[in-house]
Amino acid sequence: MNKRRFIRYQSDRRIFARIDTNVHRKVFQPDLVALVLDVSPGGCGLVVLATENLKIRDQCVIQIAEEDPTPAEIAWRVDLDEQVIKLGVRYIEES
């Protein structure tokens, strides 16, 4: 059974996301770059080099390609090996 609310679409393998792990900054200043695996209206799947940041439920701001930066939350994380992690990111609706 698939728990996702939205259908995911595989991205063009040349699409990157920039991630700002400090949600308290007023200006978007990315400190990580990730490869976008798939996208949906509610979130995306990413691959990023290993980091101590971006644990489950951590919040961040993500910018995919040239889109506007969007607040997000880490929904799941899989450490593929010591150097690479796979992330599920859920967009946070701003109120």
Digit-coded pLDDT (tens) for 30-80: 999 999 999 999 999 999 999 999 999 999 999 999 999 999 999 999 999
Digit-coded pLDDT (tens) for 45-58: 999 999 999 999 99
pLDDT at 33: 97
Taking the domains of the chain in order of start, what are their residue ranges? 9-91
Domain range 9-91, CATH architecture: Beta Barrel (2.40)
CA distance 41 to 74: 15
Total-model pTM: 0.84
Amino acid at 87: L
CA distance 75 to 44: 10
**φ and ψ at residue 94, rounded to 5 degrees:** -80, 140
